[in-house]
Amino acid sequence: MGDPVKSDAKTNGFHQATNGHHQQQQEELKIAIIGQSNFAAEVLELLLERDHLIVGVFTIADKAAREDVLATVARQHGIPVFKFSAWRRKGVPIPEVLEQYRSVGANLNVLPFCSQFIPMEVIDGAAYGSICYHPSILPLHRGASAISWTLIEGDERAGFSIFWADDGLDTGPILLQKQCPVYGDDTLDTLYKRFLYPEGVTAMAEAVDMIAAGTAPKIPQTEIGASYDPALFREENQYLNLNQPAVRIFNFIRGLDSVPGALTVVQMEDGEEVPVRLYGASLSARRSMVNGKPIQFKGSTGPAFVTREGIFITGTDGSLVRVRRIKRGNRVIPAGEWFEQLETTKATPLVLTEKEQEQDTLLRSIWKSILKVEIGPETDFFACGAGSMDVVRLVEEVKDTLEVPIDNETLFMAPMYGEFLQEVIQRLRSGSNGDRGTNIPLDYKHVVLRANRRQIAVPTQLFINGRFVDAESAKTIPIVNPTNEQVICDVANASKADVDDAVQAADEAFRGVWTSVSARERGQLMYRLAELMEQHREELATIESIDSGAVYTLALKTHVGMSIDAWRYYAGWADKIEGSTIPVSPARPNRVLTFTKKEPIGVCALITPWNYPLMMLSWKMAACIAAGNTVVIKPAQVCPLTALKFAELTVRAGFPPGVINVVTGTGSLAGQALADHPAVRKLGFTGSTPIGKRIMASCAESNIKKCSMELGGKSPLVIFADCDLEKAVRLGMSSVFFNKGENCIAAGRLFVEDRIHDEFVRKVIRGIKTMKIGDPLDRATAHGPQNHRAHLEKLQEYCAIGVKEGAKLLYGGKRVPKMEGLFFEPTVFTDVEDHMYIAREESFGPIMVISKFHASDFDALVARANSTEYGLASGVFTQDIAKALRFAERVEAGTVFVNTYNKTDVAAPFGGFKQSGFGKDLGKEALNEYLKTKCVTVEY
Residues serving a catalytic function are 134, 710, 744
CA-CA distance, 346 to 207, in Å (whole number)?
56
- Residue 687 marked ligand-binding: yes
- Residue 637 marked ligand-binding: yes
For residue 937, the surrounding DSSP H or E stretch is: strand 931-939
For residue 179, the surrounding DSSP H or E stretch is: strand 174-181
CA-CA distance, 765 to 745, in Å (whole number)?
22
Provide CB contacts within 8 A for 266, sequence distance 6+: 273, 274, 276, 295, 296, 297, 298
- CA-to-CA separations, 876 to 77, 211, 546, 717, 856, in angstroms, rounded: 80, 89, 35, 6, 16
CA-CA distance, 406 to 423, in Å (whole number)?
9
For residue 936, the surrounding DSSP H or E stretch is: strand 931-939
- Contact in structure between 295 and 328 (CB atoms under 8 Å): no
- Report the candidate in 459, 452, 515 with the shortest Cα–Cα distance to residue 483: 452
- Residue 305 marked ligand-binding: no
* CA dihedral over 769, 773, 779, 782, signed as positive or negative: positive
- Report the candidate in 515, 436, 430, 500 with the shortest Cα–Cα distance to residue 462: 500
- Residue 170 marked ligand-binding: yes
CA-CA distance, 442 to 468, in Å (whole number)?
11
CA-CA distance, 790 to 774, in Å (whole number)?
19
- Give CA 23 to chain center in angstroms: 59
- Residue 116 marked ligand-binding: yes
Question: How many residues does the structure list for the chain?
Answer: 940
Is beta strand 157-164 parallel, antiparallel or unpaired with respect to 130-134? antiparallel
- Contact in structure between 482 and 821 (CB atoms under 8 Å): yes
- Residue 692 marked ligand-binding: no
- Residue 267 marked ligand-binding: no
CA-CA distance, 272 to 938, in Å (whole number)?
58
Going across the sheet that includes 931-939, the strands are 581-582, 592-600, 931-939
Residue 722 CA neighbour count, 13 Å, CB half: 9
- Residue 888 marked ligand-binding: no
Three-state DSSP class for 534?
A: helix
- Residue 309 marked ligand-binding: no
- Residue 82 marked ligand-binding: no
- Contact in structure between 624 and 571 (CB atoms under 8 Å): no
DSSP string, 114-134: --SEEPHHHHTTSTT-EEEEE
- Residue 796 marked ligand-binding: no
Three-state DSSP class for 314?
A: strand
- Residue 23 marked ligand-binding: no
- Report the candidate in 103, 57, 99 with the shortest Cα–Cα distance to residue 81: 57
Cis amide bond preceding 112, omega within 30: no
For residue 71, the surrounding DSSP H or E stretch is: helix 69-76
- Contact in structure between 37 and 2 (CB atoms under 8 Å): yes
* CA dihedral over 451, 457, 462, 466, signed as positive or negative: negative
- Residue 669 marked ligand-binding: yes
- Give CA 536 to chain center in angstroms: 24
- Residue 667 marked ligand-binding: yes
CA-CA distance, 420 to 440, in Å (whole number)?
18
Q: What is the 3-state secondary structure (H, E, C) of 347-368?
A: CCCCCCCHHHHHHHHHHHHHHH
Single-letter residue type at 701: E
- Residue 774 marked ligand-binding: no
CA-CA distance, 609 to 618, in Å (whole number)?
12
Beta bridge partners of residue 917, listed in sequence order: 710
CA-CA distance, 711 to 844, in Å (whole number)?
12
- Give CA 574 to chain center in angstroms: 13
- Residue 636 marked ligand-binding: yes
Q: Maximum Cα–Cα distance for the chain, whole Å?
A: 117
Q: Tell me the Cα Rg of the chain.
A: 36
CA-CA distance, 170 to 6, in Å (whole number)?
8
Return binding residues: 116-118, 170, 634-637, 667-672, 687-688, 794, 842-844
Return binding residues for (6R)-10-formyltetrahydrofolate: 116-118, 170
Return binding residues for NADP(+): 634-637, 667-672, 687-688, 794, 842-844
